[in-house]
């Protein structure tokens, strides 16, 4: 008993002295706080949180005040030549997929063991975090069942390095509408998402996915189904409304894969919060999105990658019709004032190469500063991540530093020098990493 009391006393001692809560003073050249650039700012991190941000003398004052109350001096992280930003938030990933030019989507779903896919996913998670993406909204395991639940838990328990995950588990499809397809109608082929239709089955499927771990419910509002090659709507508006209402009653949002004009319209009217892809959007559809506060996740990089996998020689041959149209509709969405989520559908192309979407957003007409906002504060807001995506006092200490000025040259986001998630340093190149020093 005496020993136990002594141990509890020791716990209070280390708590009170802050031994358990590491203190870091980050000194970059400038800070992008999620909205604007501030030259010369510093940031103080204690434990898992940002506790001060602003002019160096104010931040150092805050650190000194902590020292007088018994805490040790902060470890200084010198980030000279760097811009410090909130950890990037990938809006559309599939950690259980790898690029289709390595293995087709069909073969990944039908021929790869789930254990193989999980091993790959652990590597993808690490690559994503090391590239500065401290959060991902992972929109479906594509046939790997509920394996994103265990992946998320492994990351949260510190078993493997990886980003925070917002997960969709299996996603919902209308019967007959998804893939793999093209087989004899006489055989049943396992699908890349869960089939459900009608009142009771839809409610059950939504609740089952949520019960097993889905943070967000994903539906396919349209797809290329049957023998016709083009995307056609799947769920009825009433079915989408039912899914949205069922998910919302548990506090979860619903989002939609929607590429066709009618699929987009139904997803908007049904109450989905973001539309993924949106290739056949029109000025009318985009103004409806703006009016209803529905965000667009354009996945420019996925279309670009798939076109190249199909043989387009980018930079040598003229842009295919699909790419030309995507430039037009993306511009229409911007002109309509639609909220743009950064999300590339990474998995179609390499994990860790998430910045490709940022570069394409600039190439397709968005200002670099707006792209940085999209990948941080805008995504945090749209995805209901209230303590992320900003460098603000009392927010989670998810921070990245890149060499250069990404607000001028977007590709500077690739020059990652420092990655912190939840106050823990995962990458620190200018100085000796505290992790490796241990
Ligand atoms: Zn996707």
Cα angle at 391 between 71 and 76, to 5 degrees?
A: 40
Ligand 1 centroid–CA 290 distance in Å is: 22
Cβ contacts of 291 within 8 Å, gap of 6 or more: none
Ligand 1 centroid–CA 66 distance in Å is: 46
Sheet hosting strand 133-138, strand order edge to edge: 88-93, 133-138, 164-167
Cβ contacts of 104 within 8 Å, gap of 6 or more: none
Ligand 1 centroid–CA 157 distance in Å is: 26
Q: Which residues surround ligand 1, an ion (CB under 5 A)?
A: 345
**What is the spatial distance between Cα 44 and Cα 18, in angstroms, rounded to a whole number?**
14
Ligand 1 centroid–CA 31 distance in Å is: 32
**Do 402 and 420 touch, CB atoms closer than 8 A?**
no
Q: What is the pLDDT along the chain (438 residues), one digit of tens a residue?
A: 555 555 554 444 444 444 568 999 999 999 999 999 999 999 999 999 999 999 999 999 999 999 888 888 999 999 999 999 999 999 999 999 999 999 999 999 999 999 999 999 999 999 999 999 999 999 999 999 999 999 999 999 999 999 999 999 999 999 999 999 999 999 999 999 999 999 999 999 999 999 999 999 999 999 999 998 899 999 999 999 999 999 999 999 999 999 999 999 999 999 999 999 999 999 999 999 999 999 999 999 999 999 999 999 999 999 999 999 999 999 999 999 999 999 999 999 999 999 999 999 999 999 999 999 999 999 999 999 999 999 999 999 999 999 999 999 999 999 999 999 999 999 998 654 444 443
**What is the spatial distance between Cα 24 and Cα 390, in angstroms, rounded to a whole number?**
18
Ligand 1 centroid–CA 387 distance in Å is: 25
Ligand 1 centroid–CA 345 distance in Å is: 5
- H-helix or E-strand spanning residue 217: strand 217-220
State the pTM of this model.
0.94
Ligand 1 centroid–CA 131 distance in Å is: 20
Ligand 1 centroid–CA 96 distance in Å is: 11
Closest CA to 198 of 187, 186, 206, 189: 206
Residue 293 tokens read as: 């506060």
Please list, residue by residue across 112-143, b when 16 or more beta carbons sit within 10 angstroms of its beta carbon and e when fewer do.
beeeebbebbbebbbbbbbbbbbbbbbbbbbb
**What is the spatial distance between Cα 74 and Cα 91, in angstroms, rounded to a whole number?**
33
Strand duo 399-403 + 416-421: pairing: antiparallel
Ligand 1 centroid–CA 211 distance in Å is: 22
């Amino acid at each position: 008993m005496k020993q136990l009391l002594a141990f509890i006393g020791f716990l209070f001692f280390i708590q009170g002295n802050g031994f358990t809560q590491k203190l870091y003073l980050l000194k970059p050249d400038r800070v992008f706080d999620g909205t604007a650039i501030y030259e010369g700012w510093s940031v103080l991190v204690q434990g898992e949180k940002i506790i001060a941000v602003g002019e160096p003398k104010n931040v150092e004052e805050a650190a000194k005040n902590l020292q007088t109350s018994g805490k040790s001096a902060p470890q200084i992280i010198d980030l000279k030549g760097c811009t410090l930003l909130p950890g990037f938030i990938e809006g559309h990933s599939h950690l259980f997929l790898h690029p289709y030019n390595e293995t087709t989507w069909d073969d990944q779903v039908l021929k790869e063991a789930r254990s193989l896919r999980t091993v790959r996913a652990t590597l993808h998670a690490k690559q994503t975090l090391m590239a500065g993406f401290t959060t991902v909204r992972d929109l479906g395991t594509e046939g790997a069942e509920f394996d994103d639940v265990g992946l998320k838990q492994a990351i949260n328990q510190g078993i493997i390095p990886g980003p925070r995950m917002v997960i969709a588990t299996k996603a919902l499809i209308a019967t007959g509408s998804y893939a793999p397809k093209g087989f004899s109608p006489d055989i049943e082929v396992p699908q890349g998402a869960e089939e459900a239709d009608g009142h009771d089955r839809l409610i059950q499927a939504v609740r089952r996915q949520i019960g097993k771990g889905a943070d967000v419910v994903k539906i396919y509002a349209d797809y290329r189904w049957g023998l016709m090659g083009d995307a056609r709507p799947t769920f009825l508006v009433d079915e989408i409304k039912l899914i949205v209402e069922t998910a919302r009653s548990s506090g979860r949002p619903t989002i939609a894969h929607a590429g066709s004009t009618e699929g987009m319209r139904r997803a908007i009217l049904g109450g989905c919060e973001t539309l993924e892809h949106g290739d056949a959007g029109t000025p009318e559809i985009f103004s409806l999105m703006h009016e209803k506060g529905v965000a667009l996740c354009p996945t420019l990089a996925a279309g670009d990658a798939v076109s190249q996998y199909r043989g387009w020689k980018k930079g040598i041959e003229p842009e295919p019709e699909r790419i030309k149209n995507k430039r037009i509709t993306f511009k229409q969405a911007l002109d309509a004032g639609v909220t743009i989520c950064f999300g590339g559908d990474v998995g179609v192309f390499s994990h860790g190469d998430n910045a490709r979407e940022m570069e394409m957003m600039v190439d397709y007409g968005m200002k670099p500063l707006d792209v940085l906002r999209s990948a941080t504060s805008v995504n945090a807001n749209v995805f209901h991540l209230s303590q992320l995506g900003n460098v603000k006092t009392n927010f989670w200490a998810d921070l990245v530093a890149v060499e250069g000025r990404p607000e001028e040259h977007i590709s500077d986001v690739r020059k990652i020098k420092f990655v912190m998630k939840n106050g823990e340093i995962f990458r620190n190149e200018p100085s000796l990493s505290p992790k490796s020093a241990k």
